[in-house]
Chains A and B, each alone.
Chain A
Amino acid sequence: MIPLSYYLVLSAILFTIGVVGVLVRRNAIMIFMAIELMLNAVNLSFVAIGKHLDSLDGQVFVFFVMAVAAAEVAVGLAIIVNLSRNKETINVDEINIMKW
């Protein structure tokens, strides 16, 4: 039996790695992938907590989150593809027409 805290700390680490990824990568797709990592970290927490509480709800949540993530990815990649068609770049450092 592995203690709950192991999972939760692992999940926190993954979440943080995701956050760092969002902050340091310049490619929009990479940022998006880092966000997926964050969502997976949360999923891990859900399942671990659910198991600890003797509740399957956690797993149900993960199911929903996956659906949401899939939808987000579909739309997000569409936006990124569309952007790269117009702008020839998906480097977020070059995407700043609007500022101040």
Chain B
Amino acid sequence: MKIGQRWPEDEMYKWGSYFGLAPKIAKTWPCLRFSQYVSNFCSVDNWRNREMLDYVWLVPLFPAIGFLINGLFGYRLSKGFVGVLACTVIGLSFLTSVLIFFDLLQLPPESRSFEKIIYTWIPAGDFKTSVGFLVDPLSIIMMLTVSGVSFLIHIYSVGYMHEDEGFKRYFTYLNLFVFSMLLLVSANNFLLMFVGWEGVGLCSYLLIGFWYERKAPADAGKKAFVVNRIGDFGFLLAMMLIFVTFGTLNFHGVFGAAHHNNEVSTLVMTAITLLLFLGATGKSAQIPLYTWLPDAMEGPTPVSALIHAATMVTAGVYMVARCSVLYTLAPVSLTVVAIVGVATALFTASMALAANDIKRVLAYSTISQLGYMFLACGVGAFSAGIFHLMTHAFFKALLFLGAGSVMHAMAGELDMRKMGALKPHMPKTYWTFLIATLAIAGIFPFAGFFSKDEILWHAFEKNTILWALGACAALMTSFYMFRAVFMTFHGESRVDAEVKKHLHESPSVMTTPLIILAILSAIGGFVGIPIIKGANVFHDFLTPVTGGHVAGSVEVTLGNLAYASSSALSYGEAVQHNVGLEIFMMVVSLIIAFGGLGLAYLMYLKDPSLPRRLVEKFKLLYHLILNKWFVDEIYDFLFVNPIKRGSTVLWQFFDAKVIDGIVNGSGWCIKWTSSVLKRIQTGYVQNYALSILVGAVAIIFYFLLV
């Protein structure tokens, strides 16, 4: 088949024009020949041009292969090989996703949804769950982002972890992590998504606690795990409820049924979506389950980059966007999502204001940005949320990798108070870090500007208060990020003399990913240009999945409903309607961003004593913020300790003392019984026989009386 036929000029879509190179890549990709060969067997329908779509399973498979090889034989392989292999498999995944992406583009928007079912996994009665993959605009964007950013982080890690003893173990976990995440975003049903969901949780645990010899990482890993369990519980319950309500777990099945079937009560829908959202708050670190993420920086820095940017935390946002159909049917849930999102954004941004640890600042900023994404979802602008997810992946990965580069130079120092004036020592790191900061602060024309502005605009349309809170968080973001830049790279050097001698720029294996990410952070926003009709290609691309956001109201459609074009049209009209206002809001956003910049400049460059005076003035607030509002302590007090104690008590109590406990329960003499309880140990046969007897008597009386 000739290329010209595969890529007809008149059917070109907007995305295609950006990537005119694609056919050439596709041609050189050897798997394609093979795929053409095999696709004759696989496909019966007449979409002749979607060979790569059939191979979507390769995307998660490559990292899985890397994981297996590195995990089973890693201890016999050389370090170099392990590193190269790990990077290669992720690179292959990325390449495959790119090819799939182009194949998807050839389809008309309304049919851009492709399911590839490998086999039926669990047949349970009339209900079947398959191992299958779903390719649609949403999942392909996630696949591209995840595999792309992960690839860069892998390359960076080769340099960063080079000296570490656990090099091989590290890459084994890393591959497993990416595998789970890709599985999560490409699954075609909730159950398979849950497999990835669990895998991601597990890997984050392994990677955060990577340096297990030290107490802090081990604890942080444990915390991440426990908190995520709570979220998983929500997800599981939601799954059960979905299963009961719709009788299937397949995305198309569920969303189709939800869309067409009006019998499902709003209450059930609200319950499902809220439970799903509980799962999302766990994974995506929202209030009240956010506490694990700041501690997660105890892992190696590239892992933080991976967790914060490409994998793990984005899972929650992805899941909410994936279930946009359900959320739209449950307005209450949407409101909850929006409120939680904006509250998280504001709350954690405030925590970042006073943090002195550079990674901690970044961690809080991640939570805050995730809050933005949920705010977007909450106001029904799912595509804006995903847009921000993507741009955030670029600049947050860049920020963390930059911070890692700084750490590398500073011999592991993280305290910004001991930095300063690093700019001349590490120019590449500085410039890339600055670009990322500009992007996250939302300064035109960097990527963050477009996505953040879109969110704020939709929030403004929905509710002015949401907008105001979001804008406030934006101000703080801009402030603390520039504060970090100024404290780290500008001003006077506060670096220890010992460390100062070793200051150096990182090797190119580390700086190259930085530069690539910097480019993406700089121009990544242009795929979603607002206002100009048809220029927001990102939004239009996603519309078939997430529905168009029409001013004032939300309309949602399914992937395979012929809907997209009309929606895009109405969106365009709506945009024109408010063009003046939207431009005004953009300017406001910009002013806010620059305001934060200026404030940071004032306080940390121009007049460094200002912060201390402020601290003295607002001592209480400062301490509250510095101690993370004492949330951890409250959690420990309320939940963790009682559970720990309760388990021990139960354990000793039940097998040892429950029998006497019944005596106790009959309410005789408490003092007398307690002495008995103390004396009586177990391990005695007669204790056990008594337990059997009690059970038997209870059962007999149960039958006699009930």
Contact = CB atoms under 8 A, between A and B. Distances in A.
Q: Give yes or no for direct A-B contact (beta carbon below 8 Å).
A: yes
Contacts of A29: none
Contacts of B693: 19, 23
B570 interface: no
A3 to B, nearest CB: 22
Contacts of B651: 100
B690 A96 contact: no
B656 A100 contact: yes
Nearest to A98: B683
Interface residues of A, number: 13
A39 interface: no
Interface string A13-53: 00000010011100000010000000000000000000000
Nearest to B655: A100
A99 B685 contact: no
A20 B194 CA distance: 53
A92 B652 contact: no
A99 B681 contact: yes
Contacts of B689: 22-23
A97 B652 CA distance: 16
B686 A99 contact: no
Nearest to B689: A22
Interface in B643-702: 651-652, 655-656, 681-686, 689-690, 693
Contacts of A22: 686, 689
Interface of B: 651-652, 655-656, 681-686, 689-690, 693
Contacts of A96: 681-684
A59 B150 CA distance: 77
Given A97-B683, A99-B656, A99-B682, 15 more contacts: A22-B689, A23-B690, A23-B693, A31-B685, A93-B684, A95-B683, A95-B684, A95-B685, A96-B681, A96-B682, A96-B684, A98-B683, A100-B651, A100-B682, A100-B683
Nearest to B652: A100
Nearest to A20: B693
Contacts of A92: 684-686
A93 B681 CA distance: 10
18 contacts: A19-B693, A22-B689, A23-B686, A31-B686, A92-B684, A95-B683, A96-B681, A96-B682, A96-B683, A96-B684, A97-B683, A99-B655, A99-B682, A100-B651, A100-B652, A100-B655, A100-B682, A100-B683
A31 B685 CA distance: 10
Interface string A63-100: 00000000000000000000000000000110111111
A23 B690 CA distance: 7
